[in-house]
């Protein structure tokens, strides 16, 4: 069975403080979170993978909270609800409940402003905590580690993010590395994610002279994830790890205080090791609110 990509972690970082403009849906942004500003993001992510004998569905609902400590420093917390279901030859196994949580610090290292244009870069670092159950069983015994809600391990995360924003469009790039550690004689392979997003204002084409209207943005992203093989009792597991690249179109409705958005992620490359189950699609929908 294919290891689920940690997309909810990527989504936990993808927040913008400037709610008069768009933001990437599955990519991180380097736009700032202002001092004493609070942001809340809620999203539903549904993953579907199926072949002739196997069927995998993963529903993830990450609740993400961001607080601006200073103009340069912000803290990000993410707590996901998860529902995993795997069917093979008519037998269904899975679990639902709270998943592993993440706490991150984000710091701005580059800030260059021009008329109607800005360039930003930030670095992030933090830790994934084992808040999800990692030893659940059913009538057939202990669930496989990939069906557990949590990994049981404390896993460091580091990232770099770049944003180039104008009044008409915005480009975001990121690189995220997650170092997975061992728990329960099992170790998920380290994960490297790379993402690129273009947001383009579709409506209105011309900005009004006064006021702050609502907007519709088109979003197009490339989301790539490379994972090392998992290890069981110190030995590599052949049917794990590999590379997946998603093409992810989406739409956003943007107001001065909140955003509603939807995106579908379609795999264009799936170079996976062994006989893993390949992803058919991932559907994401959600909202963001600024306080």
Single out the residue of 20, 97, 104 nearest to residue 60, CA to CA.
97
Alpha carbons 197 and 89: distance in angstroms, whole number: 39
- What pLDDT, on a 0 to 100 scale, did the predictor assign at position 22? 75
- Residue 62 within any structural domain of the chain: yes
Alpha carbons 204 and 115: distance in angstroms, whole number: 20
- Residue 113 within any structural domain of the chain: yes
Alpha carbons 23 and 217: distance in angstroms, whole number: 9
- What pLDDT, on a 0 to 100 scale, did the predictor assign at position 58? 98
Which are the contacts of 235, defined by CB distance < 8 A and separation ≥ 6? none
- What pLDDT, on a 0 to 100 scale, did the predictor assign at position 208? 76
> By mean pLDDT, which of 32-36, 45-49, 134-138, 168-172 is the weakest?
32-36
**pLDDT tens per residue, range 171-186:** 999 999 999 999 999 9
Tell me, what CATH number does 285's domain have?
A: 2.40.160.40
- What pLDDT, on a 0 to 100 scale, did the predictor assign at position 21? 65
- 122 is in which domain, residue-wise? 7-290
Alpha carbons 117 and 236: distance in angstroms, whole number: 48
Look at residue 6 and tell me whether its pLDDT is greater than 50.
no
The token pair at 179 is 């170092």
- Residue 150 within any structural domain of the chain: yes
Alpha carbons 283 and 166: distance in angstroms, whole number: 28
Single out the residue of 151, 142, 145, 136 nearest to residue 182, CA to CA.
151
**pLDDT tens per residue, range 243-256:** 999 999 999 999 98
Q: How many residues does the chain have?
A: 291
pLDDT band at 81 (very low <50, low <70, confident <90, very high): very high
**pLDDT tens per residue, range 50-78:** 999 999 999 999 999 999 999 999 999 99
Q: Is 10 helix (H, G, I), strand (E, B) or coil?
A: helix
**pLDDT tens per residue, range 215-228:** 999 999 999 999 99
- Residue 47 within any structural domain of the chain: yes
- What pLDDT, on a 0 to 100 scale, did the predictor assign at position 4? 44
Q: For the residues 119-128, what does the mean pLDDT come to?
A: 98
Single out the residue of 171, 151, 155 nearest to residue 163, CA to CA.
171
Q: For the residues 143-170, what does the mean pLDDT come to?
A: 96
Alpha carbons 216 and 36: distance in angstroms, whole number: 28
Look at residue 15 and tell me whether its pLDDT is greater than 70.
no
- Residue 226 within any structural domain of the chain: yes
- Residue 68 within any structural domain of the chain: yes
14 and 289 in contact (C-beta within 8 Å)? Answer: no
274 and 238 in contact (C-beta within 8 Å)? Answer: yes
> pTM value?
0.92
Q: Is 156 helix (H, G, I), strand (E, B) or coil?
A: strand
Average pLDDT, the chain: 92
- Residue 38 within any structural domain of the chain: yes
- Residue 2 within any structural domain of the chain: no
Alpha carbons 288 and 273: distance in angstroms, whole number: 36
Residue 204, preceding peptide bond in cis (omega within 30° of 0): yes
- What pLDDT, on a 0 to 100 scale, did the predictor assign at position 291? 85
> By mean pLDDT, which of 19-23, 85-89, 115-119, 180-184 is the weakest?
19-23
Domain count, the chain: 1
> By mean pLDDT, which of 122-126, 210-214, 237-241 is the weakest?
210-214
pLDDT band at 10 (very low <50, low <70, confident <90, very high): very low
Look at residue 151 and tell me whether its pLDDT is greater than 80.
yes
- At 9, which helix (H) or strand (E)? helix 7-13
């Amino acid at each position: 069975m294919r290891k689920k990509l940690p997309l909810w972690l990527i989504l936990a970082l993808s927040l913008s403080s400037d709610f008069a403009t768009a933001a990437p849906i599955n990519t991180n942004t380097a736009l700032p979170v202002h001092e004493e500003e609070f942001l809340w993001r809620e999203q539903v992510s549904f993953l579907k993978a199926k072949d002739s004998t196997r069927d995998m569905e993963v529903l993830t609902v990450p609740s993400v909270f961001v607080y601006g400590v200073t103009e340069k420093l912000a803290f990000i917390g993410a707590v996901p609800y998860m529902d995993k279901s795997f069917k093979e030859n008519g037998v269904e196994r899975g679990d639902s409940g709270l998943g592993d949580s993440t706490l991150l610090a984000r710091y701005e290292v580059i800030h260059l402003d021009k008329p109607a244009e800005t360039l930003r870069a930030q670095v992030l670092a933090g830790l994934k905590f084992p808040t999800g159950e990692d030893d659940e069983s059913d009538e057939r015994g202990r669930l496989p580690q990939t069906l557990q809600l949590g990994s049981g391990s404390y896993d460091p995360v580091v990232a770099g993010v770049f944003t180039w924003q104008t009044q008409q469009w915005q480009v975001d790039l990121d690189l995220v590395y997650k170092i997975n550690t061992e728990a329960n004689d099992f170790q998920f392979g380290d994960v490297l994610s790379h993402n690129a997003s273009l947001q383009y204002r579709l409506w209105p084409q011309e900005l009004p002279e006064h006021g702050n209207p609502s907007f519709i943005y088109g979003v197009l992203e490339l989301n790539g994830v490379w994972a090392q093989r998992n290890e069981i009792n110190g030995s590599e597991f052949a049917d794990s790890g590999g590379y997946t690249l998603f093409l992810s179109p989406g739409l956003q409705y943007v107001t001065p205080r909140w955003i509603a958005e939807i995106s579908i992620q379609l795999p264009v490359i799936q170079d996976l090791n062994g006989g893993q189950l390949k992803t058919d699609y991932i559907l994401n929908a959600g909202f963001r609110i600024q306080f």
